[in-house]
Amino acid sequence: MAKFEALLKINPQKVENLSEYITYCKYYFKPKSKSKVESYENIEKLKQDFPIVHRNILSDSKYKKNDTLKDFPLNWLKYEIIGNSKIKTFENDSNLKNSKQISGIYGNTNDLQAYINNLPKYSFAIWFKFKLKTPYFSKDDDEFYIIQNPILKEANFKVPMVRGSSWKGALAHAFRELLGEKEKIESFLRIFGAGSESIKALESYLFDKSKDLKKTQEHLLEFILFELGLKVDKVLIEKIKKIKNKEEVLNILGSKLSQKLSENKKHLPLEFQTHKGRAIFYPTYFDRLTFEIINPHDRRKRAGTNPIHYEVVPKGTEGIFQSIYIPFDGILKDNNELKNEVNKDLNNLCEAFEILTEIGIGAKTKLGWGRFKIEDKKVCVNSDLEIPERWTKCQD
Amino acid sequence: MSQQQNNQLVKEIKIFALTQDPIYIGTGGYTIGRVDNTIVRDPITNVPKIPGSSLAGTWRYYVALELQSHFKDEFRVNLKSRIKKNIDELLNSPKDWMKFEGNKFAKIKCAGQDDLPNKTLDESKSEESGHCGYCIVCKGFGFSKKDLSWQGQIYFIDLNILFFPVFTMKGTKWITTASKLKEIGLNSISSPADENKIKTNNGNEGHLNLGWLYLEIEGTHSIRNENLACFNFGNFQLNPEDIVIVPESLFSHIVNSNLEVRTSVSIDPITGAAKEGALFTSEAIPRGTILYGCIRIFDKLAIKGIDCKIAPLPSINHLEQALNDSKHFYETLGIGGMTTRGFGRLKIILLGINSTEKRENEGNTKSSTNHTGGDKSE
């Protein structure tokens, strides 16, 4: 298949848009062997097309066959390709536009409102613009790239992004900080869904599908500790260990986790059964790129060892977040009950976002990366829901 | 079949779908290869697809959901209170198809698997669970009760890939083949003569990389904007410049090597780090893929007279409206797995074509629609 090999001839001066930049980083000319260099049209043209090939490869007897990334002049890439501004912007890039349009991300809230109006009662959308306070980074799976740490990009459009799954995971993590009250635990399970091993084990014991009490005890503890991240004391552990029957399981759930159960109900609430979450998360796309370098220091010499390059979305970049909440499982619920639930969920979600801005999204949040500021907070509703403080209705 | 079509007993609706997110419809099993979770593929061509059964299952639920959300609050939960009322009184701002008289007994449980298949049709009327056997959902998609089983009036066919996005040095291009274009009625387009060459809109770029494949451009294709008018998915419109025609033999290779393959790992909420042994890879049909297929609706009004138990029956028109009014749920609730975390959303366009018109078209063009014709007869 030699004829299909992608040896791309790109002049860096011509790198104008995102696709060309990425193609350059992905398939740049690797002078792996002399014959490959020799078969390039001519050596002057090679030097012109790839100024990085600065050594005289043909006469260099020590030329390494396996040119590693270390030999690649990344500063040259940063300043010459990304540009003097050190930032590559591509707000007019067709791939960015296409991926936004295909993903159904609304540029303004009018169209979003129209869509929400078609959904079942008490559905709502959360939409906001945010500005990165620190760089955003999340590593891409792509193994063939000029630097070790390319930023996560859409698979076939190659636009830097935050995946819907990242948003969901990060928000669920932020939400756990709120889980002091029983009601919020129910809200958490409604929004994000439940279907873990622990929930399934509890469910099957309570619905007589299994009689394995020991497994139920273990999973109950695991659920409280690992999934909800709640504090567990000795008393509770003892209590769970002593469980003998279903009623006692329900009692513990009621006293620790569920408002609904503690209000004298005898059956496992829907929230604690396997179900899909009500919130749907959309991806976010960014229109800028740059590099950051982290240089670990030798503890003894106090000097940098090996600089590590990261392709990041720089601070100051704006993005749009969008999420739609559909209470599809509430269709058989009483109106007031459903409205009550949705109001709480909406409030809690908005609170969780405030926490998330401080925790940050993506990788290296410990270094302070991924923090953002929410700028234009909107909620689109199709019924008489209470809008949380500091958020505005789409129609306003 | 031709007799039926001339009698307008069958209505065929063309369906085009744009994937707004990667779509994951798993096979459930494992195959040997680099990914753990594989998706459904056509067994012959090895190209991924969306099975008709997945489409039928989700759509059934979305029609039921749309119908339920129009019931007035007092009737939505309480089934028994509906019995003495007229259907018009039960609904808030109903559309035509919602006024179908059987809808009085509709419940959300008419979607999904029947919980109570051993009840009779009459008993199911007032049950809280199980298919009711009366509403437009049960009649349209089928049901099976103790005393009566009914095949649905709507037939779903697999959605196949028509345009598939691939990243190239010139931006993202959508690949397709000449035979696929023929199937949607663009007849004048021919495959590249050489099996290692491709056709683009300009035809003069020299070479183009489709992922890792570096192929020579043979010449131009003749797709124009007006041919693509039906692919207007809201804001997104496919352009002739973005289309590349590849040889039939390469299509499956290019699709399979450009699927979205994702390595995922479960995060431990306590440590905030990856869990041990929880790493897995999955593949998915990528965002921006355009699929096509068709839905057929059979008018079974004639049967109404033979078997009075089954009356009343919804008309083709009502069933079509029901599908059309509930298709927007695919843009949020989606299809397949992992739909709440950025998977499975789909934008759907339905193009109604009258069966007789369709036949005339086929007659005129004399194209190779034999196999599609075969698909249609069931």
What are the pLDDT digits (tens) for B322-373?
898 888 899 888 898 887 878 889 999 888 654 444 444 444 444 333 333 3
A188 falls within a domain: no
**Could you say which of A86, A115, A144 is where a domain stops?**
A86
Name the helix (H) or strand (E) containing B305. Answer: helix B301-306
The verdict on residue A12 lying in a domain is: no
pLDDT value of residue B374: 37
Looking at the predicted structure, is the pLDDT value of residue B118 above 90?
Answer: no
Please list every residue in chain A whose beta carbon sits closer than 8 Å to the beta carbon of residue B241.
none
Helix (H, G, I), strand (E, B) or coil at A374: strand
User: What is the mean pLDDT of each successive set of 10 residues along chain A, which is 396 residues long?
Assistant: 42 66 71 62 64 55 53 62 63 85 86 87 90 88 77 88 89 86 84 84 80 81 82 82 79 77 75 85 89 84 81 87 89 84 89 89 87 88 84 80
Q: B357: Cβ–Cβ under 8 A, 6 or more apart, which residues?
A: none
Report the chain A residue with the minimal C-alpha distance to residue B255. Answer: A156
The better pLDDT of the pair B193, A344 is held by: A344
Nearest C-alpha of chain A: how many angstroms from B300? 31
pLDDT at B4 over 80: no
* Rounded CA Rg of chain B: 23
A residues 107..146 contacting B (CB < 8 A)? 115, 118-121, 141
How far CA B245 is from CA of A185, A357, B11, in Å, comes to: 53, 46, 31
The reply to whether A137 falls in a domain is yes
Among A272, A302, A337, the domain boundary falls at A272
* In contact, B282 and B266? CB cutoff 8 Å: no
B244 CA: distance to closest CA in chain A (Å): 15
| Alpha-helical regions (H) of chain A | 18-27, 34-38, 43-49, 74-76, 94-103, 109-117, 164-175, 182-192, 197-206, 213-222, 234-241, 246-252, 259-262, 335-359
Which of A101, A169, A328 is facing B236, going by the closest CB pair?
A101
Contact between residue B243 and residue B221 where contact means Cβ atoms under 8 Å apart: yes
Q: Assess if residue A116 is contained within a domain.
A: yes
User: Which of A23, A118, A283 comes nearest B342 by C-beta?
Assistant: A283
For residue A22, the chain B residues in CB contact (below 8 A) are: 167
Same domain, A383 and A302: yes
Using one digit for the tens of pLDDT, what is the confidence trace for A327-354? 888 887 888 888 888 988 998 998 898 8
Of all residues in chain B, the one with the smallest CA distance to A366 is B272
Phi, psi of B232 (to 5 degrees): -100, 95
Give contacts of A99 with chain B, Cβ < 8 Å. 287-288
Could you give the CA distance from residue A277 to residue A195 in angstroms, rounded to a whole number?
10
Largest CA distance in chain B: 73
A372 three-state secondary structure: strand
Residue B80 lies in a domain: yes
Instruction: Kindly state whether residues A282 and A382 are assigned to the same domain.
Output: yes
| 3-state secondary structure string across B325-368 | HHHHHHHCCCCCCCHHHCCCCEEEEEEEECHHHHHHHHHHHCCC
Q: Are residues A58 and A205 in the same domain?
A: no
Co-location of A321 and A246 in the same domain: no
pLDDT over 90 (residue B99): no
Amino acid at B76: R
A350 closest CA partner among A124, A81, A101: A124
Bridge pairing between strands B159-168 and B290-298 = antiparallel
Residue B349, phi-psi category: left (phi > 0), alpha (psi -120 to 50), beta (remainder) = beta
Nearest C-alpha neighbor of A101 from the set B327, B167, B227, B18? B18
In this structure, is residue B310 part of a structural domain?
yes
Contacts of A141 in chain B (CB under 8 A): 261-263
Residues of B in contact with A326 (CB under 8 A): 332-333
Interface touch B286/A102, C-beta < 8 Å: no
pLDDT of B176 reads 92
Q: Which of B81, B235, B253 has the most A C-beta neighbours within 10 Å, making it the best mutation to test the interface with A?
A: B235
Q: Are residues A238 and A313 in the same domain?
A: no
Whether residue A184 is contained in a domain is answered as no
What element of type H or E holds B253? helix B248-257
Which of A102, A121, A164 has the CB atom closest to B288's CB atom?
Answer: A102
* Cβ-contact A177, A355 below 8 angstroms: yes
CB contacts, 8 Å: A226 with chain B: 268-270
Choose among A39, A31, A28: nearest CA to A55.
A31
- To the nearest whole Å, the CA of A120 is away from the closest chain B CA by 5
The predicted pLDDT at position B165 comes to: 93
Q: Confidence band (pLDDT; 50, 70, 90) for B302?
A: low
Environment class of A8 (CB within 10 Å of its CB; exposed 0-12, middle 13-18, buried 19+): middle
Q: Look at chain A and report how many structural domains it folds into.
A: 3
Tell me if chain B has a CB within 8 Å of the CB of A324: yes
- The Cα B242–Cα B236 span in angstroms is 12
Give A276's contacts in chain B (Cβ within 8 Å): 339-340
Q: Residue B169 is nearest to which of A20, A94, A120, comparing CB atoms?
A: A20
Structural domain tally of chain B? 1
CB atoms within 10 A of CB A74: 16
State the amino acid at position A165 in one-letter form. Answer: S
Task: Tell me the mean pLDDT in the region B196-201.
Answer: 87
pLDDT at A237: 83
Strand B213-220 and strand B197-200: pairing? parallel
Start-to-end CA span in chain A (Å): 60
Q: Please indicate whether, in this complex, the C-beta atoms of B269 and A229 are within 8 angstroms of each other.
A: yes
> Do A340 and A292 fall within a single domain?
yes
Nearest residue on chain A to B283, judged by CA atoms? A155
Element (H, E) at A288: strand A288-294
Asked whether residue A338 is assigned to any structural domain, the reply reads yes
Is residue B30 domain-resident? no
- Domain-ending residue, one of A228, A255, A272: A272
- Nearest residue of chain A to residue B62 (CA atoms): A328
Residues in B closer than 8 angstroms to A114, CB to CB, are: none
Q: Do residue A354 and residue A284 come from a single domain?
A: yes
In terms of residue numbers, what domain contains A70? 18-86
Contacts of residue A51, defined as CB under 8 A and 6 or more positions apart, other chains included, come to A12, A76, A80
Domain limits at B72?
Answer: 52-156+299-344
Which of B21, B92, B129 to mutate to probe the A interface, most A CBs <10 Å? Answer: B21
| pLDDT for res A74 | 64
Same domain for A236 and A202: yes
Question: What's the pLDDT at B19?
Answer: 92
Q: Is the peptide bond before B312 cis (omega within 30 degrees of 0)?
A: yes
Instruction: Mutate one of A102, A152, A349, A380 to test the B interface: name it (highest B CB count within 10 A).
Output: A102
pLDDT in tens, A214-237: 888 888 888 888 888 788 888 888
Whole-structure pTM value:
0.84
Of B168, B272, B341, the CB nearest to A168: B341
The DSSP H or E segment spanning A280 is strand A279-281
Name the A residues in 148-167 with CB < 8 Å from any B CB. Answer: 154-158, 163-165, 167
**DSSP-assigned states of every residue in A123-191:** -EEEEEEEEESS-B--B-S--SSSSSBPBPB-TTT--BEE-HHHHHHHHHHHHGGGTTSHHHHHHHHHH
Question: In what helix (H) or strand (E) does residue B324 lie, and over which residues does it extend?
Answer: helix B316-326
Question: Which of B21, B261, B267 is the closest to A169 by Cβ?
Answer: B267
- Mind listing the pLDDT tens digit for each residue in B5-62? 445 788 888 899 999 999 988 876 655 556 777 888 888 888 899 999 899 999 999 9
Same domain, A140 and A66: no
Complex-level ipTM: 0.82
Q: Please tell me whether residues A76 and A100 are part of one structural domain.
A: no
User: If you average pLDDT over residues B121-149, what whole number do you get?
Assistant: 81
Residues of A in contact with B347 (CB under 8 A): 104
Closest Cα of chain A to B182: distance in Å? 25
pLDDT at A96: 87
Contacts of B77 in chain A (CB under 8 A): 332-334
- Judged by CB atoms closer than 8 Å, whether chains meet at B258 and A8 is answered as no
- Give the C-alpha separation, A308 to A297, whole Å: 11
d(CA B105, CA A117) in angstroms, rounded, equals 26
Q: Is residue A171 part of a domain?
A: no
Residue B291 has pLDDT above 50, yes or no: yes
B219 pLDDT above the threshold of 70: yes
Q: What percent of chain B has pLDDT over 70?
A: 85
Cβ pairs bridging A and B (under 8 Å) = 153
Give the number of C-alpha atoms closer than 13 A to the C-alpha of residue A42, restricted to the C-beta side: 2
A49 and A151, same structural domain? no
**In the beta sheet, which residues pair with residue B26?**
B39
Q: Which residues pair with B348 in a beta bridge?
A: B17
A108 and A141 share one domain: yes
**Which of B209, B212, B328 is nearest residue A118 as measured by Cβ atoms?**
B328
- Which pLDDT score is estimated for B375? 39
Structure letter (DSSP) for residue A7: -
A110, A113, A171, A280, best to mutate vs chain B, most B CBs in 10 Å: A280
In a domain, B87, yes or no: yes
CB A156 to CB B215 under 8 A? Answer: no
> Is the minimum CB–CB distance between A195 and chain B shorter than 8 Å?
no
Residue A8 lies in a domain: no
Residue numbers in A near B74 (CB within 8 A)? none
CA distance B19 to A235: 51
